[in-house]
């Protein structure tokens, strides 16, 4: 699995309330959720995120509440991966469970600049960035399958269909 795109850079301690405000929690459609991304930073931020499919941040990305909307709104906006020096655990699991790769990498975070083009290879654990090849922990095959299928729920549906096909083939 490869992801290619421009980077949008953030700092440390990006809170889920900043990513996705609580007052919009009633919205469940990911595309609609995307309209409210980083709303407190200004009206231009939702469009800015939509033009940058790779978010890179510092320490503790996704801290704050456990709202799943912080991950699903990013997906709705077209974000294909989030890279940070560290993640709040609940955001990390929410991202993976919804099909959004969350990659821990200090070297990428330290090298990245706004607007840089990056290419991530989730299988090999490498990122081409600024003429460098930076390593990160490869995403294990079972999580790559989950991400490829669009998240945990979609993966469970896919596995159920595979089992049903196998049972019918007997």
Residue 154 has pLDDT above 90, yes or no: no
pLDDT given for residue 1 in this prediction: 86
pLDDT given for residue 170 in this prediction: 77
DSSP string, 87-126: B-HHHHHHHHHTT--EEE-HHHHHH--TT-EEEEETTTTE
Span 100-151, pLDDT tens digits: 999 999 999 999 999 999 999 999 999 999 899 999 999 999 899 899 999 9
Rounded to whole angstroms, how far apart are CA atoms 153 and 56?
Answer: 26
pLDDT given for residue 73 in this prediction: 96
At 159, the pLDDT band (50, 70, 90 cuts) reads confident
User: Phi and psi at residue 68, in whole multiples of 5°?
Assistant: -70, -25
pLDDT given for residue 79 in this prediction: 97
Q: Where are the domains of the chain?
A: 2-139
Encoded tokens for 116: 């840089």
pLDDT given for residue 101 in this prediction: 96
Q: Count other Cβ atoms within 10 Å, centred on residue 117.
A: 12
Encoded tokens for 21: 């405000």
In CATH, which superfamily holds the domain spanning 2-139?
Aconitase, domain 4 (3.20.19.10)
Span 7-49, pLDDT tens digits: 999 999 999 999 999 999 999 999 999 999 999 999 899 889 9
pTM, entire model:
0.91
- Is residue 161 classed exposed, middle or buried when 0-12, 13-18 and 19+ CB atoms within 10 A define those classes? exposed
* Helices marked H in the chain: 16-19, 30-33, 45-50, 69-76, 89-97, 106-111, 141-148, 152-169
In contact, 85 and 135? CB cutoff 8 Å: no
């Amino acid at each position: 699995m490869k992801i290619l795109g421009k980077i949008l850079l953030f700092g440390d301690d990006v809170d889920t309330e900043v990513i996705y405000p609580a007052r919009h929690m009633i919205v469940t459609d990911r595309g609609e959720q995307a309209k409210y991304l980083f709303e407190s930073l200004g009206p231009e931020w939702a469009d800015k995120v939509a033009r940058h499919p790779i978010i890179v941040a510092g320490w503790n990305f996704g801290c704050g509440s456990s709202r799943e909307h912080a991950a699903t709104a990013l997906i709705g906006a077209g974000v294909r991966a989030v890279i940070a020096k560290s993640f709040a655990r609940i955001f990390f699991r929410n991202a993976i469970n919804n099909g959004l790769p969350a990659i821990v990498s200090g070297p990428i975070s330290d090298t990245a600049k706004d607007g840089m083009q990056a290419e991530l290879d989730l299988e090999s654990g490498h990122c081409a960035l600024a003429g460098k090849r930076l390593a990160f922990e490869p995403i294990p095959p079972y999580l790559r399958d989950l991400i490829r299928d669009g998240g945990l729920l979609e993966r469970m549906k896919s596995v159920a269909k595979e089992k049903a096909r196998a049972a019918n083939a007997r």
